[in-house]
Chains A and B, each alone.
Chain A
């Protein structure tokens, strides 16, 4: 089933970490397997933020050697970053298997990302000037507390509560998906893509990499590919309605925008609240109500509808 949510403040920054935690916790019944956040903080032109994991959470339960392995993997990441000329400004080990690095880098980002992911079991969750992508097993409150997300100051965010149906219960298959290796693009999705494999093969032929077998990852890659080819976000999303087959509602975020798209069958839910200062959207109104307890006017977007908001 899965639950998706997003929000954007148009004129200010806010505690988007806390707000999205509330929204996703209200959607827990739609998917308790894992929860993911894509949070957009104050963007820095010079600095990048990278979130990456060194192992799956469940790997840590498999013997004693894994703890040493994780440390070695991190050391190897550090060594490779230094070798590539990355200037690290801040290093945080958020959990034993998940890290957050701030750095400056003048080289080619894809080359760096490829080189770091070449380290065994290392997966980059996101790189961006504003985007920070966090996902782990458990409900929103659990993940938010684990990664200290409440109080995260930013302008917009998207998130996902996952009911695993077509791939495993692990961090790799959890949403959101970052559009590797494109900065600051993330996607959450509710639905099924029926032309996933044929489209994935086409994307792979064009040089894109996939880390999971989850159909939702295709949307992130597709959108990034279209933007890379010159489409703006709205045009890329409009095109996705035509080209992606299946039933879906998805939410995408870039450094300064939030968008949603619904397939022509409108078989997956989405509720919208929109004001001059703020936009919130979610699979169920109860998620929006978790941050707006008073009465508000909401509505359902229609079949084939694409909406984009700028912060």
Chain B
């Protein structure tokens, strides 16, 4: 376990003590460390197979993926996912997984390491609680996209619904189009990049983390404030977007950076008049 005791306090957090096997890569300055784990299963990425999901239930398809991984398959394509719910969940190892079509709700949840591509759309709560890996959605996504993710990269090339990255605790969420209301609600760590417009109450009650917006912001939520976009931000944005072949129409230099005003942290200690100012 990497020593992380000092990092929370450096970020202004007072009491949080992070534990768990994935926590050591949360704050890694090395980008690649957020994508894979050294203890991942030994699968062969050259070994490829396909599954037709037309007639299978979610649990049958997920179990089939697990079995194939145990057999060493490192590259699996799922045909005809048919917007079924809860497909591709709980994969805790390296894997190249491709869904040829759309997923329903709770797709790709609880991931810890795989690289996933969905050629269609995803429903609500895609990649919820993702620990590490990458998930790339080629079309649109529903609400609560990337809820409580803790690591990895979650990318949607199209538009995304409301409450994107609610309770985000790490990792990166990239939205190619617009997002709905309450995106970044109660965000705690990590980064969110919105290339299009952001809906109402952006970053409401966010504790920490950073949101970058390329388009218009309908309005900011409680305790979300505009921060200074630095050279480091621009460099990071270019590098990250380049990974997925994405770019901002106005250039990353013209993006708006949103951070926490960090007033709610100390809410209980504020004077009544100060509380009014926060809210």
- A-side interface residues toward B, CB under 8 Å? 264-266, 269, 271, 284-286, 288-289, 293, 295, 297-300, 302-303
Asked whether A300 lies within 8 Å of B143 as measured between CB atoms, the reply is yes
B124 at the interface (CB under 8 A from A): yes
| Number of cross-chain contacts by CB at 8 Å | 66
By beta carbon, the residue of chain A nearest B160 is: A300
Asked whether B83 lies within 8 Å of A303 as measured between CB atoms, the reply is no
Instruction: Give A268 Cβ to nearest chain B Cβ, in Å.
Output: 10
Residues of B144-201 at the interface with A, using a CB-CB cut-off of 8 Å, are: 158-159, 161-163, 180-182, 199-200
B98 at the interface (CB under 8 A from A): no
| For the complex of A and B, 9 pairs with smallest distance between CB atoms | A285-B83, A266-B162, A300-B161, A303-B181, A299-B140, A286-B83, A289-B83, A302-B180, A300-B142
Asked whether A284 lies within 8 Å of B83 as measured between CB atoms, the reply is yes
Asked whether A299 lies within 8 Å of B121 as measured between CB atoms, the reply is yes
What range describes how many residues of B lie at the interface? 20 to 34
Given contacts A284-B83, A285-B83, A299-B159, whether A266 and B180 have CB atoms under 8 Å apart is: yes
Among B104, B120, B139, B158, point to the contact of A286 (Cβ < 8 A). B104
**What are 30 sample pairs from A and B whose C-beta atoms fall under 8 A apart?**
A264-B181, A265-B162, A266-B143, A266-B161, A269-B123, A269-B124, A269-B142, A269-B143, A284-B85, A284-B104, A285-B102, A285-B104, A285-B121, A286-B84, A286-B104, A288-B83, A289-B82, A289-B83, A298-B102, A298-B121, A298-B140, A299-B121, A299-B140, A300-B140, A300-B142, A300-B143, A302-B162, A302-B199, A303-B180, A303-B181
Among A265, A269, A295, A300, point to the contact of B102 (Cβ < 8 A). A295
Set of chain A residues within 8 Å of B163, measured between Cβ atoms: 266
Q: How far is the CA of A271 from the CA of B102 in the complex (A)?
A: 12
Instruction: Give A273 Cβ to nearest chain B Cβ, in Å.
Output: 10
- B-side interface residues toward A, CB under 8 Å? 82-85, 101-102, 104-105, 120-121, 123-124, 139-140, 142-143, 158-159, 161-163, 180-182, 199-200
Asked whether B121 lies within 8 Å of A284 as measured between CB atoms, the reply is no
Instruction: Give B76 Cβ to nearest chain A Cβ, in Å.
Output: 19
Asked whether B83 lies within 8 Å of A297 as measured between CB atoms, the reply is no
Asked whether B105 lies within 8 Å of A284 as measured between CB atoms, the reply is yes
Q: How far is the CA of A265 from the CA of B182 in the complex (A)?
A: 8
Main secondary structure of the interface of B (DSSP, over half): loop
Set of chain A residues within 8 Å of B180, measured between Cβ atoms: 266, 300, 302-303
Instruction: Give A25 Cβ to nearest chain B Cβ, in Å.
Output: 14
Instruction: Give A86 Cβ to nearest chain B Cβ, in Å.
Output: 47
Q: How far is the CA of A65 from the CA of B124 in the complex (A)?
A: 50
New contact pairs (5) apart from A266-B181, A299-B158, CB-CB < 8 Å = A265-B182, A269-B124, A284-B85, A295-B101, A300-B140
Q: How far is the CA of A269 from the CA of B83 in the complex (A)?
A: 14
By beta carbon, the residue of chain B nearest A305 is: B180
Q: How far is the CA of A141 from the CA of B231 in the complex (A)?
A: 60
Asked whether B82 lies within 8 Å of A293 as measured between CB atoms, the reply is yes
Set of chain A residues within 8 Å of B121, measured between Cβ atoms: 285, 297-299
Asked whether A286 lies within 8 Å of B82 as measured between CB atoms, the reply is yes
By beta carbon, the residue of chain B nearest A300 is: B161
By beta carbon, the residue of chain A nearest B123 is: A285
Residue among B105, B123, B163 with max Cβ neighbours from chain A (10 Å)? B123
Instruction: Give A23 Cβ to nearest chain B Cβ, in Å.
Output: 12
Set of chain A residues within 8 Å of B85, measured between Cβ atoms: 284, 286
Q: How far is the CA of A37 from the CA of B181 in the complex (A)?
A: 32
Set of chain A residues within 8 Å of B84, measured between Cβ atoms: 286
Instruction: Give A29 Cβ to nearest chain B Cβ, in Å.
Output: 9
Given contacts A266-B162, A295-B101, whether A303 and B200 have CB atoms under 8 Å apart is: yes
Set of chain B residues within 8 Å of A297, measured between Cβ atoms: 121, 139-140
Set of chain B residues within 8 Å of A265, measured between Cβ atoms: 162, 181-182
Set of chain A residues within 8 Å of B83, measured between Cβ atoms: 284-286, 288-289
Set of chain B residues within 8 Å of A269, measured between Cβ atoms: 123-124, 142-143
By beta carbon, the residue of chain A nearest B177 is: A299
By beta carbon, the residue of chain B nearest A284 is: B104
Set of chain A residues within 8 Å of B82, measured between Cβ atoms: 286, 289, 293
Given contacts A269-B142, A300-B143, A302-B199, whether A295 and B104 have CB atoms under 8 Å apart is: no
